[in-house]
Structure 1
C-alpha cells in the first residue's frame, strides 16, 4: 500500500487519499461568480482521483479580489454557483475545500495574460486598495493604510464567507495567509509598518491572522477541519523566516487550525532558486515545530517523489499544482505507477471514485 493513496482523517472528515489539488487562480469569473469553466476544471480533477479539490483564492469581499476576474463568496448568487460545483465534485467521490482570501495591497491587478500589467485603474474596472500600511507592492498602486475599524472587520468578513461556504456544502475552508496577500502582509515586517497593536512587534503582526482563524473556526462546524496556507519564508533579508512562521502555525493550532498548507514567498519580489520539491524542507520544519499536520507544495510532479515526501515524514499530504494543469488524472497515473488503487469514501450520491476510469489504475 502506498501512503500517497491512503485515506487521511482531519476531525471527522476522511479524505480518500493524500494527493490534493492545489488552489490555483483561473481568473475566469464575472463579478465573483463561478461558472462552467470552474465546474469543468474542478470536476475533471475530482473525476481524476484527487482526494481534496481546492478552489482558487476566493475573495471574502469585492475589494479583496486579486483581479476583477477572481471568484468570490460574498453574496447569495455566488454561494449558489459554488453549490452546483460542490455537488458535482461530491458525486465524483472527492472532497472539496474553498480557499478564503483577501488580496490587500495586491488586489485590483490585471490577470497574468492581459497585455497590461500592474494595478487596474478605477476607470477600467479596478478599485482603490488597502493594506496594513501605505506601502505598495513594487509596481502596484499605493494602498491606503487600513484604519483600526477596517482591520477589526477582517475576521468577520472571513467568518461570514465561511458560513456561506458551509451553505454551499464545502467540506473544509482554507484561510489564505500566504503569497503576499492581506494576512501575509500583516505578518511580514516587509509590508507591515504599523505602530499600533497590529504591527509593533512580531506578536502584534500575527494578531490579525490569529483573530481571523479564530473567527473562521467559530463560524465553521466543529466536526470539519480548518486549513491555513502560510508562506514559510519571504526569501528576503529582514523578512519572515521558517521558524517565525512555524511558531505562528503552532499558535493557530491552539485556535483550531487543523492543517497548515506550507508555501513560500510573495510579499515582495525575491530571487528564489526553484527545483523539484524546493519548498518541502519548509513544510517539514513547520510540521516539526508546530506539531500540526502539513501539506507540501511546489514542483511536486512525480508519484514516486510525492510518496517519498510522505514516507520520510516531511508532510502529511501533497498539493499538486502545475502538474494537475497538465494532467487532470494525476492520481490515477500515480496509482498505476505505484501499483496501488485509489480508495473511495462513500458519498450521498453513492457513486465513489468514477467507474468510468477504473481501468486507469494499476491493473
Structure 2
C-alpha cells in the first residue's frame, strides 16, 4: 500500500494526497502594499495544477512592520482580501486545498525602522543572510503592544477565513516573533511573558481560533531545536507544543533552527534530517504532524509516510525546481498518475 497518494482528512480539511507545498517567501510584492500579484497567482496555481494536496502560502505579515522585507505579503487590511480570494478560488478548481502562513518577523524584520522583540537583544546572522548585512537592534515590546500584536493575528486570521482558505498556519519557527518568545536565549523578560515562554503563543492560538470555523484545523510550524550555542532542545519544544495543543493546535509542522548562526551543533545536510523531530512530536502529542526538510526524493518522502514518522510531507525547494513535483512523485511511487487532461499526452 503506497501512502503518498492516499487521502487525508482532519476536521473539515480533506486532502487528495499527503503532499504539502511548504511556505516559501517570494519577495515579489510590487508596491510594498502586501497584496499578491500575478507572480503569486501563477506560482501557487501552478502547484495546484501540479497535483499538490495542500499548498501553504508564504509567511504573510499581520502588520506592515512585521514583515521580513517590504516585498513580502501582508494580511493587515480588508482591501487585501480580494487578491487572496482570486488565488484560493483558482487553486480549488484543480482539486488542491490551500492554507496561508501568518506571522510576524519580530527582530528579524529587515526593513522595519525599529524592529521589535520580546527583549532588546539583537539577532545574529551571517552578513550574506540579510539584505543589509545584519539585523537592526530591536526594542522590547510593551505589554500593550503584545496585546495589539495578538489582535493583529486574530484580524489576519479573520481575513484569511473570509478569503476562503482551507486552513491557517502560524509561523512559530525559524527565529521569528513567536519563536523568539518561546526561546529562553532570546526572551529575557521579567514579566508574565518571560516567566511562561508559552504564554504569547497560547494567547495567539486562542485568539486566532476564536475567528476560525470549528471544522477548520489550525497548523503551527515550530523549530524542534535551535542550533545556536545554549539554544533549546527537543524536550523544551515538546513542552511548549503540549501547551499549544491544549490551546487548540490541530497539526504541528516540524522544522528546526533558523535562529542565529549555528554553534557547535549544526543542522543536517542529508535527506530527511528533520524527520526524527517530526516523529518525536507525533509520538508525544498524538496528533497529525507534517515533516519537512530535504524530502524532495519521492522514495524518502514515501518512506517517511509509510513508516508513520509523519502524516504529511512538505516539499519546498523541490517544488521551486519542479511545479509538477507532486504528479511526478506519485507516478514514481505508484506507477500511475491522473494529470490534468490538458497534460495527459505528456504525463502518463
TM-score (norm 1): 0.89
Query: Which structure 2 residues correspond to residues 235-274 of structure 1 after superposition, within 5 A?
Result: 235-270=227-262, 271-274=266-269
Q: How far apart are residue 24 of structure 1 and its match?
A: 0.1
3-state DSSP class of the match of 2:193? Answer: coil
Cα 1:342–1:135 change in 2 (3 A) is farther
Instruction: After TM superposition, give the deviation of residue 249 of structure 1 in Å.
Output: 1.7
Aligned to 1:284: 279
| CA distances 1:307-347 after superposition (whole Å, capped 9, x unpaired) | 0001111110000001000011011111211125568xxxx
SS at match of 1:27: coil
| Residue number in structure 2 paired with 1:4 | 4
Seen in structure 2, the aligned counterparts of structure 1 residues 236 and 332 have a Cα distance that, compared at 3 Å, is same
C-alpha deviation, 1:170, in angstroms: 0.4
Structure 2 counterpart of 1:216, from 197, 204, 208: 208
Report what 1:91 is aligned to: 93
Cα distance in 2 for partners of 1:91, 1:273 equals 38
Structure 2 residue 123 is matched with structure 1 residue 137: yes
What's the counterpart of residue 64 of structure 1? 66
2:21 equivalent in structure 1: 21
Structure 1, 300-309 or 232-241: larger mean CA deviation: 232-241
3-state SS, counterpart of residue 230 of structure 1? strand
Q: CA deviation at 1:38?
A: 0.2
Aligned positions, number? 334
**TM-superposed deviation, 1:356:** 2.1
Residue by residue, what CA displacement relative to the aligned partner does 1:158-199 show, whole Å, maximum 9, x if unpaired? Answer: 111011001111000001110000000000011111111011
Change in 2 beyond 3 A, CA 1:282/1:294: same
The residue correspondences of 1:219-238 to structure 2 (distance < 5 A) are 219-238=211-230
- Structure 2: state its 5+ residue gaps: 125-133
Q: What secondary structure sits across from 2:192 in the alignment? A: coil
- Residues in 1 aligned to 2:143 and 2:89: alpha-carbon distance in whole angstroms: 39
Q: CA deviation at 1:269?
A: 1.4
Unpaired runs of 5+ residues, structure 1, are 110-119, 121-125, 344-352
1:210: how far off?
A: 0.8
Tell whether 2:37 aligns with 1:35.
Answer: yes
**What is the CA distance between 1:150 and its match in structure 2?**
0.8
